[in-house]
Amino acid sequence: MSDREGDTVDVPDELWEEVCAESRATLDQQVRRIENYDTKAVGLFRANILLTGVLISGLAIIVRTNGVVPGQFLNAWSLFGALTLLLSTASSAMAYTSSSYDLGIGPEVIHDADRGIYESKAAFQNELRDLYKGWLEHNANVGTFNSYLITGTIILLIDSIIFFAGAVVTGLYTLPLLIDATLLLGAAVLMLILNAFVYSAEKVFVRIFPDDE
């Protein structure tokens, strides 16, 4: 183990074993966290697909309804709603497909051990320490990336619901252009506020329930 580059110190085997044990426990927690993100991503992806199916079914019913012009519902609201729903679906899919994690030694380490590369148990544990460091950093980055993707998926899904709700209202009632634009601007402000709350949920939680010092 080095306290500065180029300097080494002797570390008891018991300490190496404790470091490796703690590293393995942390890796297990990281993997469970990543798997939890995968479950959330799949659930959100299914919710997006379900919402898409409902919208398509609703559009099909509108087309068959006498006195209702489908073109009334094809406006800026529905356009932004479709765009945010598409981005939300893509974000949830990325959150699932990007969930690769590192855990456990590979064949190369076993092959090196068979060849006698490691002169002692301490030498192997020194190599294992570096491997654990890389695994922990990789899994932490995956967890952070997935966290942002899941948050983005939820934010975009909320936005799409608001946009589609506006599309229904403006489609059923013929509103003056000024009122329609005002409603769209108000919805955009509302979404910014909701998005900020969702994105900052952890900070809000900490403020409400501060950690005891």
pLDDT, residue 212, reads 61
More confident of the two residues 103 and 212: 103
Phi then psi dihedrals of residue 7, to 5 deg: -105, 140
| 16, 122 contact by CB (below 8 A) | yes
Using only C-alpha atoms, the chain has a radius of gyration, in whole angstroms, of 26
Sole residue written with tokens 């998926």:
153
pLDDT, residue 169, reads 85
The model's pLDDT over 53-100, given as tens digits with 9 standing for 90+, comes to: 998 888 777 767 666 676 777 888 999 999 999 999 999 999 998 887
More confident of the two residues 140 and 175: 140
Tokens of 196: 């900020």
Highest mean pLDDT among 7-11, 160-164, 178-182: 160-164
Query: Angle at Cα 117 formed by Cα 112 and Cα 120, nearest 5°?
Result: 120
Sole residue written with tokens 């076993």:
110
* C-alpha 95, offset from chain centre: 5
pLDDT, residue 157, reads 94
From the list 2, 74, 84, the residue with the least C-alpha distance to 51 is 84
More confident of the two residues 141 and 129: 141
pLDDT, residue 99, reads 82
Give the predicted TM-score (pTM) of the model.
0.80
Q: Residue 62: helix, strand or coil by DSSP? A: helix
Mean pLDDT of 22-40: 90
Q: Round the average pLDDT of the chain to a whole number and report it.
A: 82
Q: Residue 105: helix, strand or coil by DSSP? A: coil
pLDDT band at 2; cut points 50, 70, 90? very low
Distance, in Å, from the CA atom of 197 to the CA atom of 208, rounded to the nearest integer, reads 13
| 33, 136 contact by CB (below 8 A) | no
Domain ranges of the chain: 13-208
